[in-house]
Structure 1
């Protein structure tokens, strides 16, 4: 028997493995599956994004109501929220003004001296808290092809608040509600929303389709 040479390791002979790639059929199947997933997923994602934008729009108007009320209380003044149409998308911008009544001249509609974006209201008893009108643009909201907006009562664009923060019911028509819903071309993209203002001056974002006892329902 022959002895193996000392100090020399025995190496196993291995054959290199062939690298296996995708075949043309496998690649076509993968592309087809990805296409189906995109076709199913993109509309759902688009509807979800529109729903989030609608909710942001509702909060946008809720913030306007809240600012008008809080400003009246903070300045012990009358205030108003005024809606104006945005030329870019047809939605409504908002602006908050304040007014201090004088003898015989109430802050009612066009009566009284209201603040503006460049001038404070006359008669402010606290000159250290000068207030100039604050406005917000709705230009970032979806256009009419995606989102519809309606005010109640129809045509109302203003609501007035007393120094206690209550809605001034002597001024009519007074804006009481803003409804946001998907347009006809995007029907069922999201559930409609509403922003409802109570006589106490509190604005709530709610579900107009919810039952009266549901916490998501709109105030009466």
Structure 2
């Protein structure tokens, strides 16, 4: 019985077609991966804010969510500083500056609850947190025992915009909006989102 395999011409044509398909698909895959990173970072920030609010209600005391920058974005360390452009965060009663790597405690300042380093995704994601005026940098928001914003402690973050870092890529940006009542909502800041769409930012 005669066996037949691929000829060299057929193999070259198959590789060329596969190469063209990969060339066409790779930019879309790259954008999809970047948008997944944006989504993951936004979800992490939303979770941190909700955790801070829940902990404030549980303890019946003010608890804050802090955005912190790290020398190594994959590890919470004591070289941390407050930053409105970082996706790393710490939930604590007092400012965690210089103490981000401390163990959780209810008695030792800064009384850390938990924290999260942004990790490798931070290099491909842009974060900007601002106060209610829409321009002044915001680095923290404090929730009181009722779960509302405690404006007497500091001027709080009102929104955090999260997008990609590429100048020419069309990212699906996300926003974390925080109301005075303490509600934390992830929404789509794109003005083309139709009114009434639950994804639309208020």
TM range (shorter): 0.7 to 0.9
1:216 corresponding residue in structure 2: 199
> TM-score scaled to structure 1, two decimals?
0.72
1:102 corresponding residue in structure 2: none
1:191 is aligned, of 157, 169, 172, to 172
1:160 corresponding residue in structure 2: 142
Superposed, which structure 2 residues align to 1:140-179 within 5 Å?
140-143=120-123, 146-153=124-131, 154-179=136-161
Residues 1:28 and 2:12 aligned together: yes
1:135 is aligned, of 115, 123, 130, to 115
Superposed, which structure 2 residues align to 1:45-56 within 5 Å?
45-56=29-40
Mapped to 2, the partners of 1:118 and 1:20 lie a distance apart of 68
The count of residues paired between Structure 1 and Structure 2 equals 178
Segments of structure 1 that go 5 or more residues without pairing to the other structure are: 1-16, 100-108, 111-115, 123-130
Mapped to 2, the partners of 1:176 and 1:121 lie a distance apart of 29
The answer to whether the 8 Å contact 1:76/1:163 transfers is yes
After TM superposition, give the deviation of residue 88 of structure 1 in Å. Answer: 3.4
Mapped to 1, the partners of 2:90 and 2:64 lie a distance apart of 8
Please tell me the root mean square deviation across aligned C-alpha atoms, in Å. 2.4
1:9 corresponding residue in structure 2: none
> TM-score scaled to structure 2, two decimals?
0.78
After TM superposition, give the deviation of residue 213 of structure 1 in Å. Answer: 2.5
After TM superposition, give the deviation of residue 136 of structure 1 in Å. Answer: 1.2
The answer to whether the 8 Å contact 1:160/1:171 transfers is yes
After TM superposition, give the deviation of residue 92 of structure 1 in Å. Answer: 2.9
The answer to whether the 8 Å contact 1:157/1:174 transfers is yes
Mapped to 2, the partners of 1:52 and 1:75 lie a distance apart of 34
The answer to whether the 8 Å contact 1:98/1:121 transfers is no
- Change in Cα spacing, 1:32 to 1:161, as seen in structure 2 (3 Å) is same
Superposed, which structure 2 residues align to 1:29-108 within 5 Å?
29-89=13-73, 91-98=86-93
- Structure ID, larger Rg: 1
The answer to whether the 8 Å contact 1:78/1:162 transfers is yes
Residues 1:120 and 2:94 aligned together: no
The answer to whether the 8 Å contact 2:68/2:88 transfers is yes
Give the match's secondary structure for 2:121. Answer: coil
Give the match's secondary structure for 1:133. Answer: strand
